[in-house]
Amino acid sequence: MKKMTNKLPDNFFWGNSTSSMQTEGAWNVGGKGKSVYDVRPATENSSDWHDAIDEYHRYNEDFDLMAKQGMNCYRFQISWSRVNPTGDGDFNEEGIEFYNKLIDALLAKNITPMICLYHFDMPLNLAEKYNGFLSRHVVDAFVRYSTEMVKRFGDRVKYWITFNEQNLYSMGEAFRIAGYLKGDETDDELYQISHHVMLAHAGVANYIHENTDCQIGGMLAYSEVYPASPNPKDILYARQINEFLNRNLLDVFVYGRYSNEVLTFVKNHHIDMDYQPDDDKVLIKVTSDFIAFSYYRSDTISSEMVPEGTIPNYYLDKGVKKNPFLETSEFGWQIDPLGFRDILTKVYNEYGVPMFPIENGIGVREEFDGSEIEDDYRIKYHRDHIQAMEDAIFEDGVEVLGYLGWGLIDIPSSSGNMDKRYGTVYVNRTNHDLKDMKRVPKKSYWWLKHVIETNGGDLSDLK
């Protein structure tokens, strides 16, 4: 292991990221309205969304674990339907008070709160009545909800993001996460959802910059994408994926305009993205204080596997090929720390905005038999990615605000699968048995504690 001779800033953020539906539980408590997740049933390989890890009642216990580990940042999500049960109409003061207490509990432990305003859990009413972000009414409802949260919490919460992994709304995943319940999932609808979500982000970002001293950035799910071969068409497809799924949004986050290539594609293919004349006035004002992103893996694209006529937004759905140079997790994700460094460096080189990786980790099946879980694979994953980040900082000159792992206290995965665990702390429940939800630190908990104590200066194994 290479010794680091440089030093990270004293205010560097080390922490944890989660979503509300994967942590809180209490789905019908405290005046909360239903979200689209609350009505999804359990399956053979997933739980329902009613209990999660019961952080609604146990957040103090979890914050104690974070503080003991040395964390100084927690990115959590406000459940829209907990504070605004229908997504429209009156706000729920009991739900707002829950977050007030949660924020104060974090600050009491010297943990900086960072709020995400939407992580796929559309209020069920807005999904059923308006088909989610396919409707501009929902854009307005989101901006109304979000600005109210900024008014309520912006005195204590200075870091904000609107949409978790916003570029997912430019892929087929959009129809699952945007509150879209009915339709033919057309290319027009995909681009309309993506544009409406960007308008919603713009409305909130502009409000924050015009009215507060808070900071806000755009967030992407960033996977490094390689061409499968030197075939020029593979190289073209890899570049187009980055342009359509990443740079198109980064251009708005930083410059207030969409990619010229993407807009030209929309025009040439007669795609109706519902771009109204006044939309420019909203987008042009957008700026970002940082670029946030999640990073778990890289992908490799083979143009030969992509049917002719497929739009770039769907290349990855058709043409992903296994990279023989990388290890693969048991859930099929290819582990690539060097891709992490490359994203940090190339985005910072081009856009010059501080980078903030706010999700990183590896999901693994684990069982608790009463003794400490020796998750050396997780230690290796985080060590290699933290080292890659430090290489980006000290060798490439990237400004990085912090490093937040994903679900570092076990939570159900995005599909509801409790078997796919990311945590340095084990939570004692399964998909279909809540058990006692006891929190038990794994070996990686103590390793990461030491890393944080040394501010990233010592990534070696514990003695």
Catalytic residues: 165, 359
Radius of gyration of the chain (CA): 21
Q: Where are the alpha helices (DSSP H) in 13-170?
A: 55-69, 80-83, 93-108, 124-130, 136-153
Alpha carbon distance 461, 378 (integer Å): 12
Which residues lie across from 159 on neighbouring strands?
114, 215
Q: State the DSSP H helix or E strand holding residue 238, giving kind and residue range, or none if neither.
A: helix 232-242
Task: Please state whether 155 falls in left (phi above 0), alpha (psi between -120 and 50) or beta.
Answer: alpha
Coil, helix or strand at residue 460: coil
Q: What is the DSSP letter of 36?
A: G
26, 45, 360, 367, 422 from 417: Cα distances, Å: 18, 6, 18, 14, 11
| Phi and psi, residue 349, nearest 5° | -55, -40
Alpha carbon distance 89, 76 (integer Å): 24
**The two structure tokens encoding residue 325:** 């140079």
Chain-centre distance of CA 368, in angstroms? Answer: 28
Alpha carbon distance 158, 20 (integer Å): 19
Angle between helical axes of 93-108 and 136-153 (0-180°, round to 10): 50
Chain-centre distance of CA 80, in angstroms? Answer: 16
Q: What is the DSSP letter of 168?
A: G
Which residues lie below 8 Å from residue 334, measured CB to CB, with a gap of 6+? 297, 298, 299, 300, 322, 323, 326, 327, 328
